[in-house]
């Protein structure tokens, strides 16, 4: 890659896309950063906040050397289906949180131009105003099914990620969707469930008023975008259901032990969970 020569397009100017724009600007590897978003307010905010240099439609985005798709996963699939041609060295990178459906949508004749990456970072906030420069720094970037991507594209993507200060992990799409169901998708469902269970109680304000760190930590991601996470649930339905079933099994164990006043076994069950600290 020639330093400072690539023209980057970012589709989706919320937390992920906006933060990417800021990080790329700081890296100095781009000649220009072009943005696009269906939400006109987001476009104006992205320009005002300096997340991108200018906003163009998809025709303008498709003239860029590197194109990042940072929209909800259902929109990523539709965008990919509508890309009919690319130059040999162009690269399209999706940031989708589920991979199998996205990769399946890539036209075979353009497969070398595409990379499916998943940055394992984010916050509960969304929209351009949620963007910040260091979102990607020291975080994990998963490269998915890269053996089907072009060598030039993979090398350029790796260089960009290194410039962003990220740590790269390689994985196949099936493993990715299975693993992320447990460590990302299911936890979001559980957080939404926790929030709804409190909101359904009488005087939920009184309950939340005395909430400590435990509740705040577990409920934080329930403030995430329902648009984004419902789309992820749709595309990774089977794996998420398996993860929820595994959680329900453990919850049922705890329920029965408490019902039987078997607090000695409950302690053993809790101590077993403490082993997670050894691998994190």
CATH number of 176-278: 1.10.3660.10
The answer to whether residue 80 scores a pLDDT higher than 50 is yes
Q: What is the mean pLDDT of residues 82-103?
A: 96
What pLDDT digit, counting tens, does each position of 124-145 carry?
999 999 999 999 999 999 999 9
- Cα–Cα distance measured from residue 13 to residue 35, given in angstroms and rounded to the nearest whole number: 7
Domain ranges of the chain: 6-171, 176-278
The answer to whether residue 3 scores a pLDDT higher than 70 is no
The answer to whether residue 62 scores a pLDDT higher than 50 is yes
* Bridge partners, 140 (sequence order): 120, 167
What pLDDT digit, counting tens, does each position of 36-52 carry?
999 999 999 999 999 99
pTM attached to this predicted model: 0.91
Identify the pLDDT of residue 140.
97
Domain 6-171 CATH (choose: 3.40.50.720, 1.10.1040.10, 3.40.640.10, 3.40.50.2300): 3.40.50.720
Going by C-beta distance under 8 Å and a sequence separation of 6 or more, which residues neighbour residue 166? 119, 136, 137, 138, 139, 140, 141
């Amino acid at each position: 890659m020639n330093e400072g020569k690539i023209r980057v397009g970012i589709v989706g100017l919320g937390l992920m896309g906006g933060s990417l724009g800021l990080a790329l600007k700081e890296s100095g590897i781009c000649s220009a950063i072009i943005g696009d978003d269906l939400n006109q307010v987001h476009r104006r905010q992205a320009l005002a906040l300096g997340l991108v240099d200018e906003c163009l439609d998809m025709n303008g985005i498709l003239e860029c050397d590197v194109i990042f798709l940072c929209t909800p996963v259902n929109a990523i699939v539709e965008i990919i289906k509508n890309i009919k041609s690319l130059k040999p060295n162009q690269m399209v990178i999706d940031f989708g949180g589920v991979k199998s459906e996205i990769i399946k949508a890539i036209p075979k004749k353009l497969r070398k131009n595409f990379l499916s990456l998943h940055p394992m970072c984010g916050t509960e906030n969304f929209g351009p105003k949620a963007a910040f420069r260091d979102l990607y720094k020291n975080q994990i970037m998963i490269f998915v099914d890269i053996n089907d991507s072009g060598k030039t594209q993979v090398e350029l993507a790796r260089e960009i990620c290194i410039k962003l200060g990220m740590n790269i992990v390689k994985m196949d799409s099936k493993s990715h969707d299975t693993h992320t169901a447990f460590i990302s998708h299911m936890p979001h469902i559980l957080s939404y469930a926790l929030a709804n269970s409190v909101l359904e109680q009488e005087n939920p304000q009184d309950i939340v008023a005395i909430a400590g760190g435990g509740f705040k930590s577990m409920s934080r991601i329930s403030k995430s975008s329902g648009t984004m996470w419902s789309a992820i649930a749709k595309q990774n339905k089977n794996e998420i259901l398996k993860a929820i079933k595994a959680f329900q099994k453990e919850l049922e164990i705890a329920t029965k032990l408490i019902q039987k006043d078997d607090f000695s076994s409950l302690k053993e069950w809790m101590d077993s969970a403490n082993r997670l600290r050894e691998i994190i």
